[in-house]
Structure 1
Amino acid sequence: MQQLFSYEEFRLALGLLRGLMLVCVGVLVMLTVCHVLYYLGRRTPIYRRNPPVDGWNRRFFVATILLTTVLLVLSWGIHSLLQYT
């Protein structure tokens, strides 16, 4: 593993992967904010034509929390690897 970290390309690829994960977290947060605004009574662009199905609200929040947690943990792990090598 130490040999891989000696290559600048490998470290760059891990940094890009970490950045991509953080972008995905940002998109999930933006979708969650739009979804919450819809349920607070304001119309948002993501549901202009098709409102969400009944029961979808609970599944959406559970999936968002799980995905965000997994992405943040993986991103933190990559950050730790890059920092301590």
Structure 2
Amino acid sequence: MTSSNFIITGFKRRQKIINEVEIKSQRLRNELNIAESKQFEDHALFLKEELGRYFQQYRELLVSHGIIPIHRVGIPALTKEELKKAEEYNLRF
């Protein structure tokens, strides 16, 4: 596995983990486990910040492979050119 494949796979896996943590936080909130829910919410926020830093570090590589970040990760919005590049990549595959 090349380094770039690991970066791309790792990014997708991290996005999935954040979604799972947010879902668990919401479920706990619905069950009125507020303290535990707050812990998961804080953890989800930490993971999003980490994911934002990760995306910024590998932004050009990730975008060129059609990967865009989930919303609310604290990074500057993708430019029109970056979105076009990601869309073009995804249309090829």
1:57 has 2:42 as partner:
no
Give TM-score, length-normalised by structure 1. Answer: 0.50
SS in 1 for 2:58: helix
Q: How many residues align?
A: 61
Render the CA deviation track for 1:12-48: whole Å, top value 9, x for unaligned. 413422321331221221231133034224xxxxxxx
RMSD (Å), alpha carbons: 2.6
Does the 8 Å CA contact 2:21/2:44 hold for their aligned counterparts? no
Equivalent residue for 1:22? 12
| Ranges in structure 1 where 5+ consecutive residues have no aligned partner | 1-8, 42-51
Select which of 16, 40, 46 maps to 1:66.
Answer: 46
Does the 8 Å CA contact 1:18/1:78 hold for their aligned counterparts? no
Does the 8 Å CA contact 2:28/2:36 hold for their aligned counterparts? no
| Ranges in structure 2 where 5+ consecutive residues have no aligned partner | 65-93
Using the aligned pairs only, state the percent identity: 7
Which 4+ stretches in 1 moved above 6 angstroms? Answer: none
